[in-house]
Amino acid sequence: MTRRAIFVVAILFLGLASTSLRAEYGDVILNRYSDLAKVRPVIFPHWFHRIRFRCKVCHHELGFEMRAGANDMKMMDITEGKFCGMCHDNKTAWGVENCNLCHSGKPGLKSGIRGGHQTLGPGRW
Amino acid sequence: MAQKFEVSEWANFSDEEPEMSWNCRWGILVLVFIIGGCEADHQNVGAQQPVAKTAPSRPPIPVARPAPPRSAWLRLQADGIHDVDNPALRLLQQPEEALSKLPRAAEGNNVDWVAALRSGVIIPRTNVFPETKIKVLDRDVIMEKTAGMPMVRFPHRPHTEWLDCKNCHDRIFKAKRGANAVTMRAILQGEFCGQCHGAVSFPLTQCSRCHSVPRPSRVRPGTEPTK
């Protein structure tokens, strides 16, 4: 009986562990300044954007570096039309006044790329 | 700056005695639990059998219904990173709504993005500035130094349909054959192909999507694929 209880607990634990941090593959969390500014971190979903734009639009034309964390952007840059602000201008996509649509992450999240598989060194596999 | 690895390092890497990771230890622990649970089940069945003989009028066993198919994509409210207290969360598109209509794959976003683009299911924009030149190159590169694995075929075409030349050349790869000391070790650490594969494009667990060209000399007699 105790064996079965342990078994059930182990399965529950596994289930929780597998669902607790399963962001969609390629989601990027941007939290360099958000927590400090008392707003939610930004979640950038690659899947949503690549249905509508090819990689080259942001990573070539708009100048986004391809390494997560290599783009140091502040809200002022975006308001001035740089980075996300190139399209998020109320013409191509929603404008910067819709804070909660981008700033939608749980407070305290660590910046970086999320998803089912990660390339952060063999230790993470 | 990308760290350079010599080809010989790959050999050292594979010869190392792999240390058992914590994931592996957890896996063994859980396996032990599962086996333990199965044993307990067997014991219970054995104990109940004599009772069943003396009591033939048991209620019929309900037929197990197949579980409803689990979606490949979590709802944003359940993915562990979105704040459920955000009033605007319901306005965002759910992954399933968009991705379930695209060609399926078994990994990553569960979407074959190259097939989605080629079949025309999605028509993502190529540029926002009208003056940007769109370049597509249709040239395959075969990488032969892959030790015991099948050789790697790198197709420029699907890559340039998504990306610009300058995304890789010469920042990640020198545009010269044989000039890049690409190793799996470096790729697994997020260099070279690993800058995208394993982060946004299909993950590095899909060995055969890159290692796709069998070596003729390695085909044993009698095992050739029949065509």
Instruction: Give me the mean pLDDT over the B57-62 stretch.
Output: 67
Close Cβ partners of A5 (under 8 Å, ≥ 6 residues apart): none
Question: Binning pLDDT at 50, 70 and 90, where does residue A91 land?
Answer: very high
Instruction: Give me the mean pLDDT over the B200-211 stretch.
Output: 91
A 91-120 residues inside an 8 A Cβ radius of B: 92, 98, 100-101, 104-107, 109, 113-120
**pLDDT above 60: residue B140:** yes
**pLDDT above 80: residue A24:** yes
The pLDDT assigned to B18 comes to 45
Please, is A90 exposed, middle or buried when counting C-beta atoms within 10 Å of its C-beta (0-12, 13-18, 19+)? exposed
- The CATH architecture assigned to B131-218 reads Alpha-Beta Complex (3.90)
The pLDDT assigned to A10 comes to 58
Asked whether the beta carbons of A105 and A43 are under 8 A apart, the reply is yes
Give the ipTM of the model, two decimals please: 0.80
Supply A34's token pair.
């958000």
Question: Binning pLDDT at 50, 70 and 90, where does residue B44 land?
Answer: very low
Contact A52 B163 (CB under 8 A): no
For all residues of chain A together, what is the average pLDDT? Answer: 83
| Residue A44: closest CA among B199, B21, B144 | B199
Residue A44, classed as helix, strand or coil, is: strand
User: Which chain A residues contact residue B131 at CB under 8 A?
Assistant: none
The pLDDT assigned to A6 comes to 66
Most confident of A107-121, B58-72, B179-193: B179-193
The pLDDT assigned to B43 comes to 41
Contact A60 B34 (CB under 8 A): no
User: Which chain A residues contact residue B189 at CB under 8 A?
Assistant: 119, 121-122
Determine the Cα–Cα distance for residues A56 and A75; give it in Å rounded to an integer: 23
Instruction: Give me the mean pLDDT over the A59-77 stretch.
Output: 92
- The CATH architecture assigned to A23-115 reads Alpha-Beta Complex (3.90)
CB–CB contacts below 8 A, A to B: 175
Instruction: Give me the mean pLDDT over the A17-42 stretch.
Output: 84
Supply A9's token pair.
């607990």
The pLDDT assigned to A123 comes to 36
Determine the Cα–Cα distance for residues B97 and B3; give it in Å rounded to an integer: 41
Number of residues that this document lists for chain B: 227
Contact B82 A1 (CB under 8 A): no
Contact A101 B122 (CB under 8 A): no
Question: Binning pLDDT at 50, 70 and 90, where does residue A30 land?
Answer: very high
Close Cβ partners of A22 (under 8 Å, ≥ 6 residues apart): A116, B74, B79, B80
Q: Residue ranges per domain, chain B?
A: 96-125, 131-218
The pLDDT assigned to A1 comes to 58
Supply B178's token pair.
């044989």
The pLDDT assigned to A67 comes to 87
User: Which chain A residues contact residue B113 at CB under 8 A?
Assistant: 50
Any CB–CB contact under 8 A between A53 and chain B?
yes
Determine the Cα–Cα distance for residues A91 and B47; give it in Å rounded to an integer: 72
The pLDDT assigned to B42 comes to 44
Place of tokens 């683009």: B117
The pLDDT assigned to B3 comes to 46
Contact B108 A105 (CB under 8 A): no
pLDDT in tens, B160-204: 999 999 999 999 999 999 999 999 999 988 889 988 998 899 988
Contact A120 B195 (CB under 8 A): no
Question: Binning pLDDT at 50, 70 and 90, where does residue B226 land?
Answer: low
The pLDDT assigned to B227 comes to 57
String of DSSP letters for B143-156: E---TTSPEEEEEH
Instruction: Give me the mean pLDDT over the B203-221 stretch.
Output: 83
Selecting from A22, A98, A105 the residue whose C-beta is nearest the C-beta of B74 gives A22
Question: Binning pLDDT at 50, 70 and 90, where does residue A121 land?
Answer: very low
Any CB–CB contact under 8 A between A29 and chain B?
yes
| Residue A93: closest CA among A104, A105, A81 | A81
> What are the backbone dihedrals phi and psi of residue B169, each rounded to the nearest 5 degrees, phi first?
-100, 130
pLDDT in tens, B74-133: 899 999 999 999 999 999 999 999 999 999 988 888 899 999 999 999 999 999 999 999
pLDDT in tens, B8-33: 444 444 444 445 556 656 666 555 55
Q: What is the sign, positive or negative, of the torsion defined by CA atoms of B215, B216, B219, B223? A: positive
More confident site: A79 or B18: A79
Instruction: Give me the mean pLDDT over the B47-55 stretch.
Output: 46
